[in-house]
Amino acid sequence: MYPWMGKVLNWSAALRDKPYKNPRGTYQGILADLPRDTRVTVVGKEQGWLRIDVTRDGRLLKGYVSQELIGYVSPKLAVAPRKLAQYQAALAANDWLDAATLLNGFKDTDVLVLLKKLSAPQLAQMKQGAIRGLLIPLRVAQPIELLNPFASIVGSKLARAHQQLEALRVQFQATVISREQWGARPPDKSKGWDEYPKNASLPLYRIVVHHTAEPQHQTARQLQDKEMDDAGYSDMPYHFVITGNGKIHEGREMDVVGAHAGLIKGNKDIKKDPDYGSIGIVLTGDFESRIQNGWSPDTPTNAQLTSLQLLVNHLVQQYQLDPANILKHRDVERGGKVTVCPGGKLASHVDLIRTRTQKTVKELAEAEAQLAAAEQEAAKLK
Ligand SMILES: [Zn+2]
């Protein structure tokens, strides 16, 4: 039971060097007079006297105080002050994963004492922090369940909502190799160059998927060389290139109008061009069965399809696009001009990817709503 924290109840309490009564009322061996509310550490007891550690003016004093003069405050924490300060900082920052992780490293008695100091909403948050932050959350979660079963249930709900959201958010993350990283050539702006208006959000509203109709093992740089040197483009015509290994490469920059879905190069009214507002994504490969490939088209690799899905999800979220506007090049209205792009072997995958994006975007919105509801429930706990 020792040590515990106490405080002086009376106007003052004499701290003595020995535990003895003075029947005549004249004090002897007094080390200090402790004023009311002085915090002391009670380290033991001898007859009617408590053995006390107390800090006065920066000095640690050890002595005895009559037991009726000291009130119980709480058990003394075993945790080191530095660790306790870290824990309190995590609490103040509402960093529940960190707080639960620190708490999990404390002694059971400390865990209980510190949990008792938390409000019901905080207990719920601590429970979710324990579930998400700890491999085995039991040491933190179990006392919470005992202290406040309702907070404990809401805490589990919060944890589930967070975990669901995290799992979904991963599906909106795509790693893109920058132009600098893959060694892109600078654009040749003399060959047609249109930038979207500055200081306004980009007027992007759809994604158009293509194939290169070139070898699947072609690199981004090889494709750029071909488009600039042979086809006469100012730069990579597309905003993204997904090579056979599934790596996503940055193409022309997002604030530059693409040259992949339009009718003609150097269109007079750029705003009426199908390229305007269209994000171009190309997969390397020739996915259409045709005489040029001996009627044996490439098949998009799993890595390419996985990357396409992630990239499309990411772009739909980043630019708030309607997932219905994920198009195959052949779906783009271009004044009757027909194309087979992105080829028969990729076309059905684009339709599938569109459906999956629609589903994932919906799931993300639902998960966000669920978390908000759980947060609200936690805040209302008493
Ligand atoms: Zn195309």
Q: What is the pLDDT of residues 190-230, one digit of tens each?
A: 998 999 999 889 999 999 999 999 999 999 999 999 999 99
How many residues are recorded in the chain?
382
CA of 228 to the centre of ligand 1 (A): 16
Residue 185 to residue 356: CA distance in whole angstroms: 35
Residue 276 to residue 262: CA distance in whole angstroms: 8
CA of 260 to the centre of ligand 1 (A): 6
Q: What per-residue confidence (pLDDT) applies to 88? A: 92
Tokens for 348? 């059905």
pTM for the predicted model, two decimal places: 0.78
Residue 56 to residue 40: CA distance in whole angstroms: 10
Q: What per-residue confidence (pLDDT) applies to 265? A: 54
Residues contacting residue 212 through CB under 8 Å, at least 6 positions apart: 218, 223, 282, 283, 284, 285, 286
**Omega before 3 cis (within 30°)?**
yes
Does the pLDDT of residue 7 top 90, yes or no? Answer: yes
CA of 341 to the centre of ligand 1 (A): 5
Helix, coil or strand: residue 195? strand
Q: What per-residue confidence (pLDDT) applies to 26? A: 66
Residue 249 to residue 174: CA distance in whole angstroms: 11
Does the pLDDT of residue 25 top 80, yes or no? Answer: no
CA of 317 to the centre of ligand 1 (A): 23
Give the number of other CB atoms < 10 A from CB of residue 363.
15
CA of 92 to the centre of ligand 1 (A): 54
Q: What is the pLDDT of residues 246-264, one digit of tens each?
A: 999 999 999 999 999 887 5
Q: What per-residue confidence (pLDDT) applies to 267? A: 57
CA of 280 to the centre of ligand 1 (A): 9
Tally of CA atoms within 13 A in the half-sphere of 202 that contains its CB: 20
CA of 183 to the centre of ligand 1 (A): 24
3-state secondary structure string, 58-89?
A: CEEEEEEEEHHHEEEEEECCCCCHHHHHHHHH
CA of 296 to the centre of ligand 1 (A): 19
User: Higher confidence at residue 58 or residue 132?
Assistant: 132
Does the pLDDT of residue 268 top 90, yes or no? Answer: no
Helix, coil or strand: residue 244? coil
Q: What is the pLDDT of residues 107-120, one digit of tens each?
A: 998 999 899 999 99
Does the pLDDT of residue 335 top 90, yes or no? Answer: no
CA of 340 to the centre of ligand 1 (A): 8
CA of 209 to the centre of ligand 1 (A): 7
Q: What per-residue confidence (pLDDT) applies to 19? A: 84
Q: What is the pLDDT of residues 117-152, one digit of tens each?
A: 999 999 999 999 999 999 999 999 999 999 999 999
Tokens for 268? 């007079």
Residues contacting residue 136 through CB under 8 Å, at least 6 positions apart: none
Q: What per-residue confidence (pLDDT) applies to 266? A: 54
CA of 274 to the centre of ligand 1 (A): 12
Percentage of the chain beyond pLDDT 70 is 97
All structural domains of the chain: 4-75 (2.30.30.40), 81-171 (no CATH), 176-366 (3.40.80.10)
Q: Which residues surround ligand 1, an ion (CB under 5 A)?
A: 210, 329, 341
Does the pLDDT of residue 10 top 90, yes or no? Answer: no
> Which pLDDT band holds residue 77 (cuts at 50, 70, 90)?
confident
Residue 7 to residue 184: CA distance in whole angstroms: 72
CA of 196 to the centre of ligand 1 (A): 21
Q: What is the pLDDT of residues 347-380, one digit of tens each?
A: 999 999 999 999 999 999 999 999 999 999 999 9
